[in-house]
Amino acid sequence: MFDWVKTSIVGVAILALPLVFYGNLLRHRPPRTNLQKSLFPGITYDRQALDTPRPIVLHIVTLNLEEAKIRVGVTPGNPTSDRTEITARTTTEFLREFNPILAINANFFFPFRENTPWDYYPKSGDRANAVGLAISDSKTYSSAEKRWSALCFSNRQRAQIRSDGTCPPDTLNAVAGSAVLVANGQPTQLPRNTPNNDGLYSRTAVGIDETGTKLWIVAIDDKQAFYSEGVTLKELTDLFLKLGVDAAINLDGGGSTTLAIADEQKGAIVLNSPIHTKLPGRERPVANHIGFWVENE
């Protein structure tokens, strides 16, 4: 009798381990509370917990490139014959390797699969293709493609968004996104074949003002019931219109959406709650990133 009870207790404990593990992941998410603070001089952070039209946790970082003397950079890569020009890494790995103060994920990429928590591609160190234009320190390692818009940063650290996917000759860094959401202060007509157009997804997106010196970075989480369930591209567009941007572009989202900062005491900190392989808080290795550095006087 005693052995049976003992075996039953051990069996229940083993079965409970996944629930305990998953519950621990949920507890470590950023709280569903509003928060506004300065991250660095000229860089502010605003977290908003919304209840309508559904639970949404919204993260907005506002940067003034001129005021804060911010330098922008993109993960470096090298063109290859098989189009695997970049080594996949998570956003916090990008922070630790290249030492920016702030980073987000950027281009859509392939190949990609996500079957189980251990069966997915790419893993950190695997090679991947960045879809659309990618330029790092004036070096183009992924060419412009039709229907993939571009976010371009000039050698004067000014940004512009172009729907044709190309950038001007003075471009120092650039990434590509699936669609221009706002142009000249007005919402655009999104093509029907825009990736993840109408579904509720995590989103990473960037808006700019008319001068190209002020940026709004938006990150929104999804697939986390009662916490944050994602937005459509139209809802994302409406958000940028409320922010008053002149132009906005949608970058890779879903499980790729990650917003992270560097902290002197704690190291790399993820501000949102990414969800990769259905595990909240787990970062996805992605093709490339946009990083922001504060220039020393």
* Residues 107-117: tens digit of each pLDDT: 999 999 999 99
- Pairing outcome for strands 139-142 and 134-136: antiparallel
Picking from 274, 290, 240, 248, the residue whose alpha carbon sits closest to that of residue 105 is 290
Tens-digit pLDDT profile for residues 117-143: 999 999 999 999 999 999 999 999 999
Q: What φ, ψ does residue 198 adopt, rounded to 5°?
A: -95, -15
Residue 21 — pLDDT band, cuts 50, 70, 90? very low
Q: What mean pLDDT do residues 208-225 have?
A: 97
CA–CA separation, 86 vs 105, rounded Å?
13
Answer yes or no: pTM beyond 0.95: no
Residue 68 pLDDT greater than 50, yes or no: yes
Q: What is the pLDDT of residue 4?
A: 62
Distances in whole angstroms, Cα of residue 92 to Cα of each of 84, 187, 239: 21, 33, 27
**pLDDT, mean over the chain:** 91
Residue entry with tokens 């003034």? 64
Picking from 216, 179, 226, the residue whose alpha carbon sits closest to that of residue 44 is 216
Q: Which residue has the higher pLDDT, 41 or 25?
A: 41
- In the chain, which residue ranges form alpha helices assigned H by DSSP? 2-27, 91-98, 233-243
Q: What is the pLDDT of residue 27?
A: 78
Q: Which long-range contacts (CB under 8 A, 24 or more apart) does 154-160 make?
A: 154/212, 157/65, 157/66, 157/70, 157/71, 157/72, 157/213, 158/65, 158/211, 158/212, 158/213, 159/65, 159/72, 159/206, 159/208, 159/212, 159/213, 159/215, 160/208, 160/212, 160/247
Q: What mean pLDDT do residues 39-45 have?
A: 93
**How many percent of the chain have pLDDT more than 70?**
89
Q: What mean pLDDT do residues 250-270 have?
A: 94
Q: Which residue has the higher pLDDT, 32 or 25?
A: 32
Q: What mean pLDDT do residues 274-285 have?
A: 96
CA–CA separation, 152 vs 164, rounded Å?
12
Within 8 A by CB and 6+ apart from 110, the residues are 128, 129, 131
Residue 277 pLDDT greater than 70, yes or no: yes
Within 8 A by CB and 6+ apart from 251, the residues are 104, 105, 106, 107, 108, 151, 175, 177, 178, 204, 205, 206
Q: What is the pLDDT of residue 1?
A: 52
| Residue ranges covered by each domain of the chain | 1-30, 32-294
- Say if CB 278 and CB 225 are below 8 A apart: no
- Say if CB 32 and CB 227 are below 8 A apart: yes
